[in-house]
Amino acid sequence: MLECGMVVDFPQLLLDSDIINMIKYFLQGVEVNDKTLNVDEVKEEGYKSNFLMSPMTLEYMRTQSRPMFFERMNRTTWENAGKPDPYDVANEKVKDILVNHHPSPLPGSVADDLRRFVVEVEKEWGVEPKNPNFDPANLVTNPSNSIKPD
């Protein structure tokens, strides 16, 4: 159990976030009324019409969840695109984030509180400080404190 808090698979974290966002979207439910059922067009065109290409269908299809890493293309298009694997796509995004994302520095009071908390926990657990000079407010200005991609 100790390792669970110390090992993170960043691409899997992004995939999990994508799945959670899709579930949250799904749990919002579907609005059902005369407009979304397109009752007028069904009455006008009849049951034998193809409604997949109607403007109303296209409008509501555009509102579905949009995952970042899971593709919704048909098999042929997916194969022609090089069969992108969601994990590989997420891994590339992780590398991009680690290289290009520059978060705003923490306000001094927050950084001080965080540092104090770490010191207290290290003392409480009897752990020798591994990085006693770590300054969370300095992450942006001192990249040597940052995680580097492989």
pLDDT-derived band of residue 11, with 50, 70 and 90 as boundaries?
very high
Residue 138 domain-assigned (yes or no) = yes
pLDDT for res 5? 66
Residue 11 domain-assigned (yes or no) = no
Q: What angle do CA 105, 107, 113 make, to 5 degrees?
A: 115
Q: Which residue has the tokens 């298009």?
A: 77
Residue 143 domain-assigned (yes or no) = yes
Neighbours of 49 (CB within 10 A): 12
- What range defines the domain where residue 118 resides? 104-150
Residue 124 domain-assigned (yes or no) = yes
Q: Dihedral of CA 9/10/15/20: which sign?
A: positive
Residue with the larger pLDDT of the pair 48 and 80? 80
> Which residue from 58, 10, 23, 19 is spatially nearest to 38, judged by alpha carbons?
58
pLDDT at residue 150 is higher than 50: no
